[in-house]
Amino acid sequence: MKQALIIFLVFTTGQSLAQGEWSMQQCMQYAVEHNHEVKRAELELDNYKASKTGAIGRFLPSVDASIGAQYNFGRAIDPETNGYTDVSTFYNGYSLYASLPVFDGFSRIHALKAAGASALMGRASLRQKQDQTALNVLQAYTNVAYYEGLVKMADEKVQETELLLKQIRLLEEVGRKSAADVAQVESQKAEADYELTRQQNLYASAMLELKKTMAFPIQDTLLLNHGDWSHDSADVSTDQGPVPMIHPELQAAQYQVQASKHEWHQARAAFYPSLSLSAGMNTTYYHTLHSDVGESFSNQFNNNMGEYVGATLSIPLFNRLQTITNIRKAKNNYRIAQETYKQKQLELEKLSREAWQDWQGYLKQTVQMVEKVEADSIAYQLTKRQFEEGLSTAIDLRTTSAQLLNSKATLLQCQLMAIVKEQLVRYYRGEAIWTE
């Protein structure tokens, strides 16, 4: 009974959370946590960290141990007399070996620096993927809000035409309106029903796109709360300054330049000689089979023990032009990274200024459309009254009604696009558009 109660509470709690209203920030957070590209970027970052760990490990000595056993039968060399024998023997060897690179033309140092820059690049790329996911959610969320507003407008239009149709039919009964006028209003009613159905379908498609962008379960219900998704524009500077260096896309390109530079220097290190130290010990055990004569394992293990130390100097002379080829490729990659950084900087600067101009334009258009909606609303009300009094036709009423509806839709679009462009301005200036 207790377990059933716990399961019921968990189920009802999950339903209440799923059925709650989602703000834009919550949608962004969910998308960033569940987006597949973000998860791939996280795994790529872990690979960069693993490469950095491997680069650190190259400074440590390598230690190897080996154990070997050999059974000889037939004609063989006796290790005691160095003569040939046909006695079956058993041979067992043990060795321990350690080596430490001392100098390699600073190859390991540049490899470590390149790995560190790559890890920073991976972190910046992860942030860029997260921001891009948030921007995609912002666009999809805006589309849903836009079509939701159009559905409300279309529904109001349906209710208004229904009321108007009732009034026209009453006026027809008293002889103040003709059958043609009634037919015109019925046509408007049918058109309003069609427009409502079309906007509902577009709203459903926009909601599916938002769920896909968020990686949200398609079959679950997603309720949105538009109350707190807009920001106050007063704290956004109106200066069109350059894109800051903290922008993740610019950081990723900059770290790629650093990594390519160190990889180029690492390739040049192949021209230098390399020096390494080594040390080890080994011992053997030898026994003639089917014979009780011979020293014990412990005596042979201690008596045959040998140690050695050594130093190896390797001087590169000729490797079929592979070093020159690798250096040339690495240098070209460094120059490519530099050009990519400059191109990315120019591209972000252009997008930043374009977003700022669009934002300012939509703010002005919003003010203008507010005035136009007010004027079109007055014109529609006057035309409607004139139509009821027989001073205007149904075509005039239909024209002013369509003009008012189009103005309201344009106003809603300008308001939403102003919010989107404001977020883009914040993004290109390095500000966080979503909270972790």
Q: What is the pLDDT of residues 19-54, one digit of tens each?
A: 578 999 999 999 999 999 999 999 999 999 999 999
Q: Where are the domains of the chain?
A: 21-60+104-272+323-428, 64-102+274-315
When pLDDT is averaged across residues 171-191 and rounded to a whole number, the result is 83
Could you please state the CATH topology (level 3) that the domain comprising 64-102+274-315 is classified under: Outer membrane efflux proteins (OEP) (2.20.200)
Do the domains at 21-60+104-272+323-428 and 64-102+274-315 have one common CATH topology? no
The predicted model scores a pTM of 0.81
- Decide which of 2.60.40.10, 1.50.40.10, 1.10.10.10, 1.20.1600.10 is the CATH code for 21-60+104-272+323-428: 1.20.1600.10
b or e along 283-317 (b: 16 or more beta carbons within 10 Å of the residue's beta carbon)? Answer: bbbbebeeeeeeeeeeebeeeeeeeeeeeeeeeee
pLDDT reading at 92 higher than 70: yes
Q: Which of 221, 248, 214, 218 is nearest to 26 (CA)?
A: 214
Each residue of 368-410: pLDDT tens digit? 999 999 999 999 999 888 877 778 887 888 889 889 999 999 9
Side chain identity at residue 265, one-letter code: H
Q: Which of 213-227, 229-243, 340-354 has the lowest mean pLDDT?
A: 229-243
Residue-wise pLDDT tens digits, 141-151:
999 999 999 99
Q: What integer pLDDT is reported at residue 66 of this predicted model? A: 96
CA-based nearest residue to 125, from 203, 10, 44:
44
> Tokens 């379960």, residue?
217
Higher pLDDT, 5 or 35: 35
Instruction: Check residue 246 and give its pLDDT.
Output: 82
What distance in Å separates the CA atoms of residue 207 and residue 216, rounded to the nearest whole number? 11
